[in-house]
């Protein structure tokens, strides 16, 4: 009887331990994925899609709620960020769980760009750049005022943005000082903007090209990559530049030197706009100062483009 009772007690203890382990595991929130991935915002049906960094296993509906007319995305080691046009920044884990559609309230009426570094989330709303801590607190909605920003990107030293009104790229110090509005000029409906360790990249939506310049604005080439149907968002990793093609519903990729690898790496997207790239194994060389390679991608707007399917917004009145 004692032996039987001891056996039953032992089995009960094991069962309780297993149940406790499973309960803890199931309640632990998902964090960073170990796989490199591409993410994009499907403007036409308010979803976020994803695929492997090589375009494999595409999923157009990673996130199906909490996304509103999103034109821009960003990513860091643990989270996805996206803009909701009517005044918020959304956030989710990299696997699409724990969606918070109002992670940050931007205080404005047209949110067009988002960027992230090791300390802050930045956004463009009605031409003004805002900033908050990574946990969403200490929001400053007018961090940089009246710069006309639609797209936005950040690296270790500067903020960059696209000016929707005049086809230029602007730049300021990380504290918002020393703003220069025409670091690069001559663009054609500039939408997305992203950075590598040495260059700025932007999408000329109406011109069908990706432009490139040195980080100081010199050596600009508005036709660095050509043959793209309505490029909207743009992103980079350590070796490639990626873009979202609104016109063809696809994600394309090229080497950082402009050699096109694949105009249709991923197909079947529905008005892809913002795009972001998470690279799990390499140090950051793009637009953040975190320990993983991340890209900040944005989509801006212009009143000069009227093409069908254009994720365009009213002209900024400021």
Tell me whether residue 2 is in a domain.
no
Q: Is the pLDDT of residue 152 over 70?
A: yes
pTM above 0.85, yes or no: no
List pLDDT tens digits, range 192-228: 999 999 999 999 999 999 999 999 999 999 999 999 9
Average pLDDT for residues 37-61, to the nearest whole number?
97
- Structural domain contains residue 192: yes
Whether 222 and 188 have beta carbons less than 8 Å apart is answered as: yes
pLDDT level of residue 169 (50, 70, 90 thresholds): very high
Residue with tokens 């999103």: 70
The count of domains in the chain is 1
- CA dihedral 293→302→315→235, nearest 10 degrees, is -10
Helices within the chain (DSSP H only): 2-27
- Indicate whether 269 pLDDT > 60: yes
Rounded Cα distance between 209 and 177, Å, is 31
H or E element that contains 182: strand 180-184
φ/ψ of 316, rounded to 5, equals -65, 125
Range of the domain at 115: 31-297
pLDDT tens per residue across span 224-268: 999 999 999 999 999 999 999 999 999 999 999 999 889 999 999
3-state DSSP assignment of residue 231: strand
The DSSP symbol for 269 reads -
Residue 68 lies in a domain: yes
Whole-number Å distance between alpha carbons of 114 and 222: 23
Q: What are residue 195's DSSP bridge partners? A: 200
- How confident is the model at residue 6, as a pLDDT? 43
- Report yes or no on 92 lying in a domain: yes
Q: Is the pLDDT of residue 2 over 70?
A: no
Residue 129 inside a domain? The answer is yes
In a domain, 316, yes or no: no
Q: Supply the CATH number for residue 247's domain.
A: 2.120.10.30
| Structural domain includes residue 48 | yes
């Amino acid at each position: 009887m004692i032996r039987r009772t001891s056996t039953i007690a032992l089995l009960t203890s094991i069962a309780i331990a297993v149940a406790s382990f499973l309960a803890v595991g199931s309640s632990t929130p998902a964090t960073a994925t170990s796989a490199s991935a591409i993410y994009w915002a499907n403007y036409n049906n308010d979803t976020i899609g994803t695929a492997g960094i090589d375009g494999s296993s595409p999923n157009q509906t990673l996130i199906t709620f909490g996304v509103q007319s999103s034109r821009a995305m960003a990513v860091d080691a643990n989270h996805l960020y996206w803009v909701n046009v009517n005044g918020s920044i959304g956030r989710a884990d990299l696997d699409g769980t724990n969606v918070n559609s109002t992670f940050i309230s931007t205080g404005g009426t047209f949110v067009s760009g988002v960027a992230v570094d090791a300390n802050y989330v930045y956004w463009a709303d009605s031409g003004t750049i805002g900033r908050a801590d990574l946990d969403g607190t200490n929001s400053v909605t007018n961090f940089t005022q009246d710069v006309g920003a639609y797209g936005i990107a950040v690296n270790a030293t500067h903020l960059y943005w696209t000016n929707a009104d005049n086809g230029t790229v602007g730049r300021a110090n990380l504290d918002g000082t020393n703003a220069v509005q025409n670091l690069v000029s001559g663009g054609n409906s500039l939408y997305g903007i992203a950075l590598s360790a040495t260059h700025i990249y932007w999408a000329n939506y109406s011109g069908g090209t990706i432009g490139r310049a040195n980080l100081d604005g010199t050596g600009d080439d508005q036709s660095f990559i050509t043959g793209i149907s309505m490029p909207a968002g743009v992103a980079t990793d350590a070796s490639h530049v990626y873009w979202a093609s609104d016109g063809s519903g696809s994600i394309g990729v090229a080497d950082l030197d402009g050699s096109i690898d694949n105009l249709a790496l991923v197909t079947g997207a529905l008005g892809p706009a913002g795009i972001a790239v998470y690279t799990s194994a390499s140090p950051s060389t793009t637009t953040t100062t975190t320990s993983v390679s991340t890209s900040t991608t944005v989509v801006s707007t212009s009143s000069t483009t009227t093409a069908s399917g254009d994720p365009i917004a009213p002209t900024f009145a400021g």
